[in-house]
């Protein structure tokens, strides 16, 4: 496994290009998000998704989210109307995951007999620039769980699944936190999990 170091708020373009190259080739990248480290792949790479699924076999649930640079591409991957769009506009970028009905663009292997997908826009200059370099959003899964952190410090942590990762993007220690998860359904919303994002905005 290769490792590169970055500054998450001021990443070098050379590092961005390297990470994008690994994702484009079907690799799994462990990278820093705004709330924790994330396992990331390119959305259209089936082999990468299968590798990510093998990593997630150690967890009780295999949920994935898609992170975007901004709101403009979300309707391509999820069913969203003006009510949802206005709410997302108030909350994002930020530490929220919104659950929406998935569009046909989402690979079936990601859904596991569900028709929902998590949508995120992290408050992160690094992920914003990476998505811009790729030209499309990224599939991610948190590298920590509700039962406890699994990866927070590249200098100290070495979980068993790390051997499946092709590239580790080292941004130093990140105290793992969970996003606030909100399910949207028409006029209704449900706060499924309270995390870093304040639920008071709803």
CATH number at residue 184: 3.90.870.10
* Cα separation values, 21 from 6, 104, 121, 130, 165, Å: 16, 26, 22, 10, 14
Among 57-61, 182-186, 190-194, which stretch is predicted with the lowest mean pLDDT? Answer: 57-61
Residues 6+ apart with CB under 8 A from 72: none
CB 37 within 8 A of CB 31: yes
Tokens linked to 94: 């930020």
Residue-level pLDDT at 100: 92
Q: What percent of the chain has pLDDT over 90?
A: 55
Give, in degrees to the nearest 5, the angle at Cα 90 between 187 and 65.
75
Residue 58 has pLDDT above 60, yes or no: no
Confidence label for 30 from pLDDT (cuts 50, 70 and 90): very high
- Asked if residue 153 has a cis previous peptide bond (ω within 30° of 0), the answer is no
Domain membership of residue 18 as a residue range: 2-201
Name the packing angle between helices 125-134 and 13-24 (round to 10°). Answer: 50
Residue 102 has pLDDT above 90, yes or no: no
Residue 5 has pLDDT above 80, yes or no: yes
Pairing of β 167-170 and β 29-32? parallel
CB 162 within 8 A of CB 155: no
Q: What percent of the chain has pLDDT over 70?
A: 90
Phi, psi of 21 (to 5 degrees): -65, -40
More confident site: 29 or 53: 29
More confident site: 67 or 62: 67
Report the domain count for the chain: 1
Residue 51 has pLDDT above 50, yes or no: yes
Tokens linked to 81: 């109307």
* Cα separation values, 50 from 21, 78, 108, 160, Å: 19, 22, 12, 17
* Cα separation values, 28 from 77, 92, 139, Å: 21, 25, 10
pLDDT digits 0-9 by tens, 104-160: 878 776 666 678 889 999 999 999 999 999 999 999 988 865 454 578 999 999 888
More confident site: 200 or 124: 124
Tokens linked to 197: 């994002």
Residue-level pLDDT at 134: 93
Burial class (CB in 10 A: 0-12, 13-18, 19+), 17: exposed
**How far apart (Å, rounded) are the C-alpha atoms in residues 62 and 57?**
7
């Amino acid at each position: 496994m290769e490792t590169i170091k970055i500054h998450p708020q001021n990443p070098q373009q050379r590092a961005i290009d390297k990470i994008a190259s690994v994702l484009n080739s079907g690799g799994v990248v462990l990278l820093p998000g705004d709330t924790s480290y994330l396992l990331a792949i390119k959305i259209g790479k089936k082999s990468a998704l299968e590798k990510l699924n093998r990593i997630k076999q150690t967890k009780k649930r295999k949920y994935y989210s898609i992170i975007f640079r901004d709101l403009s591409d979300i309707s391509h991957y999820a069913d969203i109307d003006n009510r949802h769009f206005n709410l997302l506009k108030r909350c994002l970028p930020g530490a929220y995951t919104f659950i929406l009905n998935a569009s046909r663009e989402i690979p079936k292997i990601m859904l596991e007999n569900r028709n929902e997908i998590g949508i995120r826009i992290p408050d992160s200059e690094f992920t914003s620039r990476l998505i811009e370099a790729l030209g499309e959003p990224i599939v991610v899964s948190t590298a920590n769980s509700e039962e406890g952190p699994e990866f927070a410090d590249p200098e100290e942590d070495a979980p068993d699944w790390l051997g499946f990762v092709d590239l580790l993007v080292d941004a130093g220690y990140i105290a793992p936190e969970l996003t606030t998860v909100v399910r949207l359904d028409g006029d209704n919303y449900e706060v499924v999990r309270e995390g870093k994002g304040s639920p008071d905005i709803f």
